[in-house]
A and B are shown apart, each in its own frame.
Chain A
Amino acid sequence: MAKVTIAKVEAEIDVCHSDKAKTMNPQVDWTTRIGGYTEYSAFQKFWRRSARGVFSFSNLRRILSLFLIVFLWHVVTVYQIPPFTRVPTPAEVWKDALNFIPTMHCLKCVIFSMGRIYLGFMVACIIGIPLGLFMGWNRIFKNFTFPVFECLRPIPVISWIPLSVIMFPQTEHSIVFLVFLGAFYPIVLNTLLGVESLRSDYIQGALSLGSKPRHIFFDIILPGALPSIFTGMTVGMGLAWVMVVAAEMVAGGYGLGYMTWESYILIAYPRIILGMLIIGACGYLSSTVIRYFATKAMPWRSLF
């Protein structure tokens, strides 16, 4: 009995797998016997995938939650529920946005802040990445610099603001220095981590293939540490934004942080929220730019 079953099953499988059977004997095809299984064409597959992706319950819930937040904001501010009595309503913020965003003032603020960030961030990368790489490469150098680094790290970068204003009389220089400092720590730390956490198998493999130290550095260590370096850069970019906003609020100079603080002084409250939203959006955009460069620079990683 068992042998007959086996033979029958095997015969069916052989028939199924031959292309001729699919066209000539459709009733033998086991796919039609099983309910709920249909073959989709390529276009159908693409459409089902994208439709599921865009209109899935998950996405609908997310959009609903955003609407709920705006709705709650509206209710709380329009009906003046304490303590939110002085908070502007969504309508006011929207009106102010329509007035303010197309103006030159807004563009000037954004450009000033962005300029400081990118300048400070570039300096932090140029100094920080080689420093981190060298610290990972040479143990004596690491023992020399790391204790000082670790002692300075707990000091919040924001508390450097008065000192930076003391050291650099010009506001621009002091803000760029603060941005540099904010981005510096994560970049160096993550670069160091990237170098140190490389599997020694890679280096041993390279050595056994007869490479010189410079080959190991440029072909093994640098690409291997790249993911961590980009993580450090993303974190550093986030912190750079925090620093720019804080520095501008405290020390002045045109820019988004200064504009937000100024709106509070000038009692133009809708602009405060607008300023916050623009800061958030610009920060998110900067991180996205870095992530984009990361995926371009590391084609061997499927996700970053």
Chain B
Amino acid sequence: MSSSPQEKKGKDNFIIGHMRDSVKARYEEVYLRRSIEHKKLQIKQMATGILGGITFLFVWYVLSQTIIDKLPSPWVTLVQSVKTVMDPWYYKSVYHSLYRVLVGFCTASALAIPLGLMMGWNRIVRDMTMPGFELFRSVPPVAWVPLSIIIFANMEYSIVFITFTGAFFVVTLNAKLGAESIDQSLFRAAWCLGANPRQIFRHILLPGALPSIFMGLALGIGIAWQTVVAAEMIAGQYGLGYLAWESYSLIRFPEVILAMASIGVLGYLCSAILRAIANKYLAWRKVYTA
């Protein structure tokens, strides 16, 4: 049954060689042309995207020269950014922001995942925690800044707390949704097969909620990045948000754009890493996704 690659190629050639000329012509006409067309389409798609990017830069340039004269032009931004990226002080800001985000995010996840799972598992826990949860969730993380400053005397802790607030509610909500979205017959089947509630929690609830939890984590870290920027702008020293605001005060406008872009890149990278981990370990996930 098994054949070596050379044999297989030989077989194909044998088949193609013995195809009637009309059939061969049709094969070339249809299949080969289709794959070439597909490649052409992909190239067109990429070209249109690049064209869109160029248009965006052009519009930026035009705006910076005419209506909004304070806006730095793309070229000036690029040159200044390269200069600043060489400066070690820039990396200090990156380090500070990253540290705050990661600490706040990890603390938030460590608390939020168990809480969310318990909320989805037990009706009593859910009823007791939902009102407070919804109450605190409706306050945007930015509005927590003054309160967190008066609670935590240390500036670092107050900013980490804001990041925590940002990520906590999203991760809890997604964990709860994940636990609630598990098909009820899975629980019943496990019950029938003789598992006690602890085993059901560990073997059914946890794996079943895992896809939603990962989605919540990816969202949470994105929101953590946004809130860290807000907190740093309002109340911080060091950090990329502080860098952005300070550069504005020092009338170093290209650096404002650099700070924005760095935050964007870092936020995207964190989310992408989480998503990659999710895809690797949740290979069975296709059952749930639409």
Contacts and interface: CB of A to CB of B under 8 A. Distances in A.
A touching B, CB within 8 angstroms: yes
Interface of A: 57-58, 61-66, 68-69, 83-84, 86-87, 140, 143-148, 151-152, 154-163, 165-169, 241-242, 245-246, 249-250, 257, 260-261, 263-264, 269, 272-273, 275-277, 279-281, 283-284
A272 B132 contact: no
A193 B176 CA distance: 24
A161 B233 contact: yes
Q: Which of A57, A86, A161, A277: most chain B Cβ within 10 A?
A: A161
B49 A143 contact: yes
Contacts of A166: 68, 70-71, 248, 253, 256
A83 B161 CA distance: 13
Interface residues of B, number: 63
A282 to B, nearest CB: 9
Interface of B: 44-45, 48-53, 55-56, 68, 70-71, 123-124, 127-132, 135, 138-147, 149-153, 222, 225-227, 229-230, 233-234, 240-241, 244-245, 247-248, 253, 256-257, 259-261, 263-265, 267-268, 271
A156 B146 contact: no
Contacts of A144: 48-49, 51-52, 55
Contacts of B150: 86-87, 264, 269, 272
A245 B140 contact: yes
Of all A-B residue pairs in the complex, the 7 with the closest CB atoms, nearest first, are A155-B264, A264-B146, A162-B248, A61-B127, A156-B226, A280-B138, A147-B49
B147 A249 contact: no
A158 B146 contact: no
Q: Which of A84, A156, A250, A264: most chain B Cβ within 10 A?
A: A156
Contacts of B240: 159
| Residues of B contacting A: mostly | helix
A277 B150 CA distance: 17
22 contacts: A61-B128, A62-B127, A65-B132, A66-B131, A66-B132, A66-B135, A83-B153, A86-B150, A143-B52, A152-B264, A155-B264, A158-B227, A160-B260, A161-B245, A166-B248, A166-B253, A249-B230, A250-B245, A272-B150, A279-B139, A281-B138, A283-B138
A140 B222 CA distance: 29
Contacts of A241: 140
A148 B56 contact: yes
A147 B47 CA distance: 11
B127 A58 contact: yes
Given A144-B49, A250-B245, 14 more contacts: A61-B128, A65-B129, A87-B147, A143-B49, A146-B49, A147-B50, A156-B226, A157-B226, A162-B248, A166-B256, A167-B68, A242-B140, A261-B234, A276-B144
Contact of B142 (A145, A160, A257, A284): A257
Nearest to A272: B146
A140 B45 CA distance: 8
Nearest to B134: A284
A120 to B, nearest CB: 15
A144 B45 CA distance: 8
A233 to B, nearest CB: 17
Nearest to B271: A154
| Residues of A contacting B: mostly | helix
Given A143-B48, A250-B245, A156 B267 contact: yes
A253 to B, nearest CB: 15
A45 B147 CA distance: 48
Contacts of B233: 158-159, 161-162, 246, 250
Nearest to B57: A148
Contacts of B264: 152, 154-156, 159
Q: Which of A147, A148, A154, A245: most chain B Cβ within 10 A?
A: A154
B131 A264 contact: no
A157 B233 CA distance: 13
Q: Which of B127, B132, B143, B256: most chain A Cβ within 10 A?
A: B143
A279 B229 CA distance: 20
Contacts of B131: 62-63, 65-66, 69
Contact of B132 (A69, A143, A264, A277): A69
A261 B146 contact: yes
Contacts of B123: 58
Contacts of A167: 68, 70-71
A145 B130 CA distance: 40
